[in-house]
Structure 1
Amino acid sequence: MMDDAPKRDDGNKPPPPWMLSLADLISLLLTFFVMLFAMSKVKIDRWDEVVDSLSQSIKPAPIEDSDEPIAQLNIPRVYRKPAMNLDYLSAVIDDAIDDNQVLGDATLSRDADKLVISLPGDILFISGSPDMTDKARQALFVLGGVLRNIGNRIGVQGHTDPRPVSGRGLYASNWELSLARAAAVANELKRSGYTDYINIYGFASSRYDQLPVMADEQKRFTMARRVDIVIEPHSGSGIGGS
């Protein structure tokens, strides 16, 4: 008697013939591309560009911290011009004012470590007044054109002779007059382009005794009526300085 029961599938069937052909084809293609790459020349510059592009995409560069102020009330950064050597500056100023009708009578001197430009008050101002002549304004504009290019700290000092203020003018004392004249010179320097702060002082006749003794007392009085522009060897705003 024949057994008609179906035969058991033991799962050991060989793969179909087309799969073997596909595997051989893939192996040949892989070998071909490996040989093709081995025979080709890699352009280094292009390779570096690709690497950099991929590096930025995969791992972007970290954002560097900025030292700029971010708070609303932070003090802004201030950039200042460097201070100029006083010996060099003295030569520059002397050359600039030598031929000037008003500044030609000014004198340059060194007071300790400072450069002092002494301007005769009788040439700059109307007698007993802080009002300047037109020639004086033009002369200070020339001087200010030199000073605006330096970073040195500057002060302006007004002086008078020891005689009391005569008449019923605007100023009750020599001190007020000397301070007003110093302010007038400082304002003219500002108009010429000097942008930093300028300290102003009124000394009146308090430094009259420091002037050299002369046979002609009138010449000493003339020297006393002056305005000094004091240039210091260092830079800075000079606010509140002496």
Structure 2
Amino acid sequence: MRARVSRRRRGQEPGNRDRWLITYADLITLLLIFFVMMFAMSRLDTTKYDDVTQALQNSFRSGDSILEMGSGLTGTADVNTTRNPPSNPEDERTNTGSEGADVLSQRELAFRQQEQELQELMGVIQRYVSDNNLQNQIFVADEPRGISITLSDRFLFDPGRAALKSGSAPTLAKLASLFRDLNTPISIEGHTDNVPVGNGSVYRDNWDLSGARALSVLRFFIDREHLDPTHFQYAGYADTRPAGDNSTEAGRQKNRRVEITVLRQLQQ
């Protein structure tokens, strides 16, 4: 009896192992149906596509471009604005090219005129220095930023002071007469050596002294010679921009100076 039951169970085992194939076959069938439906839905209707494409092309061709200040596709955009002129190379050269060339040429002419004035100014000052034997007191140089006029402190001030000497007035008045008709900014900069100011000085330090000396020269031009103050700027740099060696007396003397620079810069 037991042998008979065992043979029956062994005979049923192969059938039980193959039942998963039914589920697998159902899954494959469902996937096939899914992809068939997706493929059917994704097929393009060429007739409708051509109709839509033609309609869009007609709309853009007949529409007034907003980029050209038109009314757009709906006809409602920028209805109160003026359209740009047609893009014509001849019109562009006539309307904008000549105007741009005129502006550029005017600026170039202004720079050339300024450069001519600067060279003439330098020549006049050099002749004045030579005629009055001031070669050791006034130095003129053509630098990239402009015409630099360096005045020694011995020519302008007493030691440790910022009040102008009376003997410097004729030279400063001569410079003022040359600056009067210039249409360019003028920078006045005070410089000192690295020796600290004395304890009894009215100035706190070399910064204060250099700024006061530059201001004294500026005041001469504005208050006494009545030059336009909008053409001037001034600053004090103490000993931060030396022109000579502060370890020697000759170098320190060279550093104590006021520089007046007529800048290569057009007024706004």
Sort the TM-score into its range (normalised by shorter chain): 0.5 to 0.7
Residues 157, 203 of structure 1: 8 Å contact kept: yes
Equivalents in 2 of 1:166, 1:155: separation in Å? 28
Displacement of 1:147 after TM fit? 1.2
Alignment match, 1:123: 155
2:253 aligned to 204, 222, 232, which one?
A: 222
Name the CA shift for 1:102/1:94 in 2 (closer, same or farther; >3 Å): closer
Alignment match, 1:169: 201
Equivalents in 2 of 1:102, 1:192: separation in Å? 22
Equivalents in 2 of 1:180, 1:122: separation in Å? 16
Map 1:25-104 to 2 at 5 A.
Answer: 83-85=114-116, 86-100=118-132
Equivalents in 2 of 1:200, 1:97: separation in Å? 24
Query: Residue 96 of structure 1: SS of its match in structure 2?
Result: helix
Query: Residue 204 of structure 1: SS of its match in structure 2?
Result: coil
Alignment match, 1:201: 235
Equivalents in 2 of 1:110, 1:158: separation in Å? 19
Displacement of 1:167 after TM fit? 2.4
Query: Residue 223 of structure 1: SS of its match in structure 2?
Result: helix
CA distances 1:21-76 after superposition (whole Å, capped 9, x unpaired): xxxxxxxxxxxxxxxxxxxxxxxxxxxxxxxxxxxxxxxxxxxxxxxxxxxxxxxx
Residues 159, 202 of structure 1: 8 Å contact kept: yes
Displacement of 1:88 after TM fit? 2.4
Displacement of 1:103 after TM fit? 7.4
Residues 155, 200 of structure 1: 8 Å contact kept: yes
Query: Residue 265 of structure 2: SS of its match in structure 1?
Result: strand
Residues 97, 104 of structure 1: 8 Å contact kept: no
Q: Which moved more, 1:155-164 or 1:106-115?
A: 106-115
Q: Is 1:183 aligned to residue 215 of structure 2?
A: yes
Name the CA shift for 1:87/1:160 in 2 (closer, same or farther; >3 Å): same
Residues 244, 252 of structure 2: 8 Å contact kept: no
Residues 113, 232 of structure 1: 8 Å contact kept: yes
**Hey, which of these two has a bigger chunk of helix by percent?**
2
Alignment match, 2:105: none
CA distances 1:77-101 after superposition (whole Å, capped 9, x unpaired): xxxxx74532222112212333336
Equivalents in 2 of 1:213, 1:205: separation in Å? 11
Over the aligned positions, Cα root-mean-square deviation in angstroms equals 2.4
Equivalents in 1 of 2:194, 2:234: separation in Å? 20
Name the CA shift for 1:180/1:99 in 2 (closer, same or farther; >3 Å): same
Equivalents in 2 of 1:145, 1:153: separation in Å? 15
Displacement of 1:175 after TM fit? 0.5
Displacement of 1:105 after TM fit? 2.1
Name the CA shift for 1:224/1:212 in 2 (closer, same or farther; >3 Å): closer
Displacement of 1:161 after TM fit? 0.3
Report the TM-score when normalising by structure 1: 0.58
Q: Which moved more, 1:84-93 or 1:175-184?
A: 84-93
Report the TM-score when normalising by structure 2: 0.52
Equivalents in 1 of 2:192, 2:244: separation in Å? 15
Equivalents in 1 of 2:262, 2:126: separation in Å? 14
Q: Which moved more, 1:192-201 or 1:176-185?
A: 192-201
- Structure 1's unaligned 5+ residue stretches are 1-81, 238-242
Between 1 and 2, higher relative CO (CA 8 Å, sep ≥ 6) is seen in: 1
Name the CA shift for 1:104/1:213 in 2 (closer, same or farther; >3 Å): closer
Q: Is 1:236 aligned to residue 242 of structure 2?
A: no
Query: Residue 128 of structure 1: SS of its match in structure 2?
Result: coil
- Structure 2's unaligned 5+ residue stretches are 1-112
- Structure 1 moving runs of 4+ over 4 Å: 101-104
Displacement of 1:140 after TM fit? 0.6
